[in-house]
Amino acid sequence: MLKSSLLEILRTFTKQELIKFGDFVRSPYFNKKENVTKLFLEIKKYAPEYSNEMLGKELIWGKLFPGNEYNYGIMKNIIFDLNKLAVSFLDLEIHSGKKFDPDLNIIEQYQLRGLSAFAEKKIKECKNELKKLNIDSDYYLYNYLFETKEIDHMPFKHDLKEFRSFEFNEFNKNLSLYFYTMFFEKNYNSYQLSFLYNKPINNKNIDVIIKSYEESEFRNFYSDIVFFAFKTVYDPYSEINYYKLKDLYYQNFDKLSKKNKYNFAAALSNFCKNNSNAGNLFFIKERYQYSKLFADHELFFFDNNKYIDRFIFMNIVISACTAGDFDWCEQFIKKYESKLKKDIKELSVNFAYIHLNFKSKKYNEAMNYLSKCLNVSGMDKYNIKTYQVFLYYEMEYYEELKYLTDTCRHFVKNDKTVSDDYKKQFEKFVNIANKLSDYRYNMKNKGKDEFVLNVIKKYITGNEMQSKNWLNEKISELEN
């Protein structure tokens, strides 16, 4: 039972959710089976980990039916029924968290039962409530849905005056803005993922929607923010799109929900990261302002979210270190490491301290944290190898770096988890770091060779590769 889907679901419940689920299980409206209630009460004793050996099926059976011989079929059915209740509870929690979904269901029931006056009153109340909320994609969706309810009921009322007064242009505006904002929001994520996971996107179809939006009469500050956030990944080196997004973001900061303050600051920060990594050093300090914004306003906590996204956590650490604010960075790690989800906490904290110690030139401490990063996959493998390259070079581990370079070639060749573009950029970075190590080794024995160093410089300038800023920094050190 320890590996059952039931316990996997229960492990995700907060203390408050577990209390609510207990009420749910004991409610005769949802559950009339006494043995299912007994099973929950027994399992609940082992919250929140649910890892105690006493959760074995036969041991639990002994608690539920003392003195009776174990029956696999009966026990399986009781677990199945409690699992169904857990899934139903999740469904109820999702709908209760969506403010207007229950209202839409109530309006539909009023209309089906011919209670038109009740339905009209409810629609009016909901639309007034919507006006009080921050504008986002859901704002347009629910306005459209409530207006749809009004239109659907018009043929049954035969009220010509109401039909003439209905704002069809507003209806079309809400529908259009919901489409555009969702389209650009979802495609922002798609473009981010396409680079990492080698899945090209057909720009031709995207271009049609971009042109349609740019020519649309239905635009406002929020749809423009979403649009320019998308443009920062669609055209990732266009500073025009970045500054338009930045201006719109700060001008309308107080109008945005906390979630959208977070999302759009993340988009601005990602643009700065991509451009600073490509060699535009101006964006190092630009990026750091968003890290401070995240922390000062605690933007990573929204929609009752109690955890920090791992990538935002690391982005803040990296940008603070790049700006040289090591004390602030260390305080940030200590303050918020407990807010990382348990399954990724150890690895994330190790990476944070690797970067902090590497940037503050405490290389042995960085190596110590690097040795703790075990059983990693995907992009984390590349991150570990990148830090190995950095540290081996800085610590002048000449032979170890040559061996690592060879290992990376084989690793990249066989890896299928990231895009070909990313693999090429990573491989170029490793090879150039190795060449710089060779140059430094030979320079100590034979003196400087400006021709060789210039060839390496030109190659770095003329090619897209990872960690260009660090490579250029090492070039400068070798020149002086």
What is the tens place of the pLDDT at every residue in 54-104? 888 999 999 999 999 999 999 999 999 999 999 999 988 877 767 888 899
How confident is the model at residue 355, as a pLDDT?
97
Of the CA atoms within 13 Å of residue 392, those in its CB half-sphere come to 21
Residue type, 250: Y
Longest pairwise C-alpha distance within the chain: 96
Rounded average pLDDT over 124-141: 90
The predicted model gives 115-134 an average pLDDT of 90
How far from chain centre, in Å, is Cα 383?
A: 18
As a whole-number percent, the residues of the chain with pLDDT over 70 amount to 96
Assess whether pLDDT exceeds 70 at residue 163.
no
Average pLDDT, the chain: 89
Task: Quote the pLDDT of residue 28.
Answer: 94
Eight-state DSSP code of residue 303: T
What residue has token string 């049609």? Answer: 208
245 close to 228: Cβ distance less than 8 angstroms? yes
3 state SS of 356: helix
Predicted local distance difference test score (pLDDT) of residue 204: 79
In the predicted structure, residue 162 carries a pLDDT above the cut 70: no
pTM for this one? Answer: 0.68
- What is the distance between the alpha carbons of residues 33 and 18, in angstroms, rounded to a whole number? 19
Q: Where are the domains of the chain?
A: 5-97, 101-166, 267-375, 394-480
Lowest mean pLDDT among 81-95, 187-201, 395-409: 187-201
Q: Which pLDDT band holds residue 464 (cuts at 50, 70, 90)?
A: confident
Cα radius of gyration (the chain): 29
Environment class of 198 (CB within 10 Å of its CB; exposed 0-12, middle 13-18, buried 19+) = middle
pLDDT at site 196: 59
Q: 200 or 439, which is more confident?
A: 439
